[in-house]
Structure 1
């Protein structure tokens, strides 16, 4: 699947995908329980039927998850890698919010985020790696 063919998940769908990326596979109940465990900010609990409906849409309409229906309880897993979804979402963000400028996006992120020394070292190493690849 090419990057531009990856469906854009909603915020709620992305939360579900995150659970599936961490767990590998999960039932609706397991996904729902994990989602509610993460609600530490006092927000309203997510109902089981809401999670079920989202997973059904993600399976049947968007192809974001796969479903194993061999057993009585359906088992869901993410249909694509986390990095592929992240890459697609990031590209759309750069294209729409930053008029295609990755530099503007990085400058905004670094300006608004207090990056640790370790994070800055990783960013520098990544820049050096990209520069080496481009010089080949």
Structure 2
């Protein structure tokens, strides 16, 4: 490969990672502080995204429970109901729901955590348990 070919490749648009576009759309909606149209989201994100791409991402987020939508004329207005952490939790739950042996998956997940994260998870579970008793 020649230097000119490599330079030409470097100039091409960067491909987003899986879930990155969803996180960007969700972030834009959270910053909006209220319901917004897909066109607004598209303008906010820039980068030449197709309107249909934005609609697809918003629809996926809606199915996941991360955004709500309300009819506005012939279109919808979208509102974030989850943050980035909530979106990650939804992804984790989807993976867990797809496994036959939930106990084994959860046990493997917890034992694979660094000690600090395992302590944090245990503290959160204990806190949730205490709140449920009260």
Question: Which structure: larger Rg?
Answer: 2
